[in-house]
């Protein structure tokens, strides 16, 4: 039993030679191999268990021993998949904490999912620099698939589909990590997500106390088999729940010398990083992760283990190389090395992974950097976005911008209303029904994204507020939509009054300022055709002399009222001067530093060693009626961020306050129609939202003829009514039902 199932450890022999050198090492031997079954359906898992006997100290290091499964398909094609070391485990919940105990013997496994029916052959190969051993062949039968297969991206498509062509349209959330309850937390979250109609969860491997396989207790290049067992459990649970997984391989936090969360220094992760030379690792400084061969080698080795253990799984949607790579210390100076690293590691995954899962990465802000997103090795692009109070006005523009720029599918991998500890509780209590979540889901789903934006706050918002039901209506609406074959393009639509109402006073205009294109020079805000949002609004200081320029805002007010600037983060020290038609009307010093001050919170940024202060404060400039220019200039040391512009009583009411977002394709149109006042901002300010009556929607691009229109209740996911309409030469006109919040429709012709 010991000879056939256990590894033979020979630390003394391994220590006598450098890893990867032959020395006096003997060639490995393979014990009896055993299949988990004689038949398996295509895209389901079959395993081979066996022992490898040999002289090696670290079984995770392929320089000491490289073990693979050699498969041959029914048509004679060869498929190689790496093997991995495994040990079984058991779990229990005691005093509110999960305890996982390894049980039984350590043994090697190969996991595999056949992709074609018929008779398959497999043999095991183990080799080091002294020689190669190959086992006798085993045979198994693959039966016809019951599953759709792996998720793919076909060139030219904005969407994903399975091997069999079935569309995969993402509806999901982040479920990145668990708390003290470990996998028992996932027992609550994943089945609930699946029941609600979600089909994707973004789950982290590293920087995760429950699932991290390489940490300071394992040391560099060695892996925690108990946590790997936990990941097995979580992935199996996700599969049973119908929830696919965005598998996030790594996050930069372990390489940060100081880690801040919501403005507070919470830890010094680099001190515990297994790759740190102080802990026996090879890296003297974090940047050597990118600049040294040994830093690269450790990641290649970890990716090999990831693919070996979990690469068989069709339920894994993609490999995400990094969570928010810009959180890596000094990332901007390392961009050439980071780009090269992505090319290498995407290649490593494609070489190791016989199933060619999709590959991506991510940044912690909307636009990321073109040096990474232009890499063809990445299958789709992502954005992360926080802080908006008008999700439908902000997120679809982000989607359109990124798709246009990079010509690939786009997904908002994280979003949320705030990243302020002081504000989160307030927002979540005020928006207990998930208005901002609802608006983000519908606006991104019908705004051209490859799926819904993925909310971040799964554990302190979605689950405790039981907001799973917010996802269900959209999931029902999306059933049967031919995402990959419909040829969808953004809908061209306009809204007007059926009968001009009595003149109303101008309504408020709120513009979130995030992403690209960055606001520069002069912008004009037309009250009759205002934008949905603005790009990043940043006033540079003396630290960037070449960009220290004023920004002018041209206004045309029907009535007197303020321009309200929401001041976000200020770096080092800002000095804001505001001029109205060339005359100074406001001067404000905006310092940043330690301790208490005029800010809400302040922190020392470890990247640049300067203080950043979050003001979260409104500054109002009185503007008379008529045309005026407001000029903003920062004469201070460093930058001032303006998160939002608010213009009370500004936007003309000559058109209904309705936002339309939708897609038009081959004989099918999908349109989401929102009362534009129904936003998180209105919820937080407890505004009464007037119902909009008497509005008409005109959709261009629908040929003349008869159409069927389904009106959908977005709160239940049920069809409210179906009507027959006649499209004319100028498109289709539809009377919009009385609109308190929002409604959706499907148009077929």
What's 342's domain CATH number? 3.20.20.80
Quick check: pTM over 0.75? yes
Q: pLDDT for 510-544, tens place per residue?
A: 999 987 789 999 999 999 999 988 999 999 999 99
Verify that 659 and 626 share a domain, yes or no. no
The pLDDT score that the predictor gives to residue 18 is 43
Q: pLDDT for 110-167, tens place per residue?
A: 999 999 999 999 999 999 999 999 999 999 999 999 999 999 999 999 999 999 999 9
Mean pLDDT within 354-364: 98
| Res 656 pLDDT > 90 | yes
> Where residue 431 falls among pLDDT bands split at 50, 70, 90?
very high
Whether 586 is covered by a domain: the verdict is yes
Given 633, 651, 669, the domain boundary residue is 651
Verify that 263 and 372 share a domain, yes or no. yes
Both tokens assigned to 27: 């060639």
Cα distances (angstroms) measured from residue 289 to each of 96, 379, 562: 37, 24, 51
Q: pLDDT for 54-102, tens place per residue?
A: 989 999 999 999 999 999 999 999 999 999 999 999 999 999 999 999 9
User: Going by DSSP bridges, is the β-strand pair 39-41/138-143 parallel, antiparallel, or unpaired?
Assistant: parallel
Verify that 257 and 314 share a domain, yes or no. yes
Q: pLDDT for 324-334, tens place per residue?
A: 999 999 999 99
Whether 154 is covered by a domain: the verdict is no
User: Going by DSSP bridges, is the β-strand pair 52-53/29-30 parallel, antiparallel, or unpaired?
Assistant: antiparallel
Look up the domain containing 281 and give its range.
Answer: 169-482
| Res 7 pLDDT > 50 | no
Q: pLDDT for 668-691, tens place per residue?
A: 999 999 999 999 999 998 999 999
Given 448, 482, 516, the domain boundary residue is 482
Verify that 644 and 670 share a domain, yes or no. no
Taking alpha carbons only, the member of 159, 237, 162 closest to residue 201 is: 237
The pLDDT score that the predictor gives to residue 502 is 85
The pLDDT score that the predictor gives to residue 4 is 33
Given 482, 517, 541, the domain boundary residue is 482
> Where residue 259 falls among pLDDT bands split at 50, 70, 90?
confident
Helix, coil or strand: residue 573: strand
The pLDDT score that the predictor gives to residue 9 is 33
Helix, coil or strand: residue 678: coil
The pLDDT score that the predictor gives to residue 422 is 62
Mean pLDDT within 294-322: 99
| Res 19 pLDDT > 60 | no
> Where residue 729 falls among pLDDT bands split at 50, 70, 90?
confident
Residues 6+ apart with CB under 8 A from 297: none
Q: pLDDT for 555-573, tens place per residue?
A: 999 999 999 999 999 999 9
Whether 156 is covered by a domain: the verdict is no
Chain position carrying tokens 């992403």? 515
Instruction: Check which CATH number belongs to the domain holding 51 and give it.
Output: 2.60.40.10
Taking alpha carbons only, the member of 234, 245, 232, 237 closest to residue 172 is: 245
Mean per-residue pLDDT over the chain, rounded: 94
The pLDDT score that the predictor gives to residue 161 is 99
Whether 62 is covered by a domain: the verdict is yes
The pLDDT score that the predictor gives to residue 17 is 37
Verify that 519 and 473 share a domain, yes or no. no
Verify that 431 and 453 share a domain, yes or no. yes
Whether 160 is covered by a domain: the verdict is no
Whether 151 is covered by a domain: the verdict is no
| Res 35 pLDDT > 50 | yes
CA gap 513, 534 in Å, rounded: 5
The pLDDT score that the predictor gives to residue 603 is 83
b/e sequence 199-234, b meaning 16+ C-beta within 10 Å: bbbbbbbbbbebbbbbbbebebbbbbbebbbbbbbb
The pLDDT score that the predictor gives to residue 604 is 83
CA gap 460, 416 in Å, rounded: 12
Verify that 292 and 394 share a domain, yes or no. yes
Verify that 266 and 402 share a domain, yes or no. yes
Verify that 88 and 139 share a domain, yes or no. yes
Verify that 95 and 202 share a domain, yes or no. no
Mean pLDDT within 301-323: 99
DSSP letter string, 366-390: SS--HHHHT-TT-S-EEEEEE--S-
Task: Report the 3 state secondary structure along 56-99.
Answer: CCCCCCCCCCEEEEEEECCCCCEEEEECEEEEEEEEEEECCEEE
b/e sequence 288-298, b meaning 16+ C-beta within 10 Å: bbbeeeebbbb
Whether 743 is covered by a domain: the verdict is yes
The pLDDT score that the predictor gives to residue 606 is 67
Mean pLDDT within 491-501: 94
The pLDDT score that the predictor gives to residue 426 is 87
Quick one: what percent of the chain has pLDDT higher than 90? 89
Phi, psi angle pair for 226, to nearest 5° = -70, -45
- Confirm if 387 and 348 have CB atoms less than 8 A apart: no
Whether 159 is covered by a domain: the verdict is no
Verify that 348 and 263 share a domain, yes or no. yes
Q: pLDDT for 407-419, tens place per residue?
A: 999 999 999 987 6
Verify that 607 and 734 share a domain, yes or no. no
Number of domain units in the chain: 4
């Amino acid at each position: 039993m010991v000879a056939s199932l256990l590894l033979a450890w020979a630390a003394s022999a391994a220590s006598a030679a450098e890893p990867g050198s032959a020395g006096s090492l003997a060639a490995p031997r393979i014990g009896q191999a055993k299949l988990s079954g004689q038949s398996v359906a295509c895209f389901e898992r079959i395993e081979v268990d066996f022992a490898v006997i040999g002289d090696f100290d670290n079984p995770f290091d392929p320089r000491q021993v490289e073990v693979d499964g050699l498969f041959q398909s029914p048509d004679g094609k060869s498929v190689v998949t790496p093997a991995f070391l495994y040990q079984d485990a058991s779990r229990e919940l005691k005093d509110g904490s999960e305890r996982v105990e390894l049980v039984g013997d350590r043994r090697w496994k190969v996991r595999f999912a056949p992709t074609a029916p018929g008779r398959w052959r497999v043999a095991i190969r183990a080799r080091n620099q002294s020689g190669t051993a190959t086992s006798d062949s085993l045979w198994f039968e693959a039966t016809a698939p019951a599953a759709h297969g792996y998720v793919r991206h076909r060139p030219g498509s904005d969407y994903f589909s399975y091997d069999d062509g079935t569309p995969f349209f993402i509806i999901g959330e982040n479920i990145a990590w668990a708390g003290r309850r470990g996998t028992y937390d996932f027992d609550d979250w994943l089945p609930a997500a699946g029941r609600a109609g979600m089909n994707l969860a973004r789950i982290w491997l590293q920087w995760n106390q429950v699932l991290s396989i390489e940490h300071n207790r394992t040391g560099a290049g060695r892996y925690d088999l108990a946590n790997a067992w936990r990941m097995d459990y979580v992935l199996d649970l996700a599969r049973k729940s119908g929830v696919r997984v965005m598998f996030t391989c790594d996050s930069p936090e372990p390489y940060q010398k100081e880690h801040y969360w919501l403005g507070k220094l919470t830890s010094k992760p680099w001190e515990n990083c297994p790759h740190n030379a102080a802990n026996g690792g090879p890296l003297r400084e974090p940047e050597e992760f990118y600049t040294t061969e040994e830093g690269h080698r450790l990641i290649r080795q970890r990716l090999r283990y990831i693919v070996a253990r979990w690469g068989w799984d069709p339920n894994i949607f993609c490999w995400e190389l990094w969570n928010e790579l810009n959180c890596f210390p000094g990332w901007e100076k390392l961009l050439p090395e980071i780009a090269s690293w992505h090319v290498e590691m995407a290649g490593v995954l494609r070489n190791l992974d016989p199933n060619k899962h999709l590959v991506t990465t991510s940044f912690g802000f909307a636009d990321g950097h073109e040096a990474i997103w232009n890499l063809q090795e990445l299958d789709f692009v992502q954005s992360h976005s926080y802080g908006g109070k008008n999700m439908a006005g902000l997120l679809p523009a982000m989607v359109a911008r990124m798709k246009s720029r990079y010509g690939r599918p786009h997904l908002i991998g994280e979003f949320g209303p705030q990243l302020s500890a002081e504000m989160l509780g307030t927002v979540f209590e005020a928006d207990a029904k998930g208005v901002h979540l609802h608006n983000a889901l519908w606006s991104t789903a019908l705004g051209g994204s490859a799926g819904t934006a993925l909310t971040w706050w799964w554990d302190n918002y979605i689950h405790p507020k039981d907001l799973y039901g917010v996802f269900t209506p959209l999931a029902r609406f999306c059933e049967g939509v031919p995402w990959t074959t419909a040829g969808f393009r953004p809908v061209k639509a306009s809204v007007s009054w059926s009968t001009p109402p009595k003149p109303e006073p101008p309504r408020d205009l709120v513009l979130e300022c995030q992403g690209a294109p960055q606001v520069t020079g002069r912008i004009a805000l037309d009250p009759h055709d205002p934008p949905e949002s603005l790009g990043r609004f940043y006033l540079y200081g003396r630290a960037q002399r070449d960009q220290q320029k004023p920004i002018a805002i041209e206004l045309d007010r029907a009535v007197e009222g303020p321009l309200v600037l929401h001041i976000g983060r200020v770096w080092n020290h800002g000095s804001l001067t505001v001029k109205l038609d060339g005359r100074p009307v406001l001067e404000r010093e905006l310092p940043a530093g330690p301790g208490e001050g005029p800010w809400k919170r302040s922190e020392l940024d470890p990247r640049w060693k300067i203080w950043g202060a979050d003001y979260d404060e409104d500054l109002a400039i009185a503007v008379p009626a008529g045309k005026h220019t407001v000029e903003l200039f920062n004469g201070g040391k460093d930058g001032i961020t303006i998160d939002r512009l608010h213009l009370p009583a500004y936007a003309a009411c000559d058109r209904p306050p309705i936002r339309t977002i939708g897609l038009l394709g081959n004989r099918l149109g999908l349109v989401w129609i929102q009362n534009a006042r129904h936003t998180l901002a209105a919820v937080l300010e407890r505004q009464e939202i007037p119902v909009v009556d008497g509005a008409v929607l005109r959709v261009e691009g629908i040929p003349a003829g008869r159409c069927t229109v389904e009106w959908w209740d977005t709160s239940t996911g049920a069809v409210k009514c179906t009507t027959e309409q006649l499209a004319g030469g100028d498109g289709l006109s539809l009377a919009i039902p009385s609109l308190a919040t929002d409604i959706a429709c499907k148009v077929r012709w």
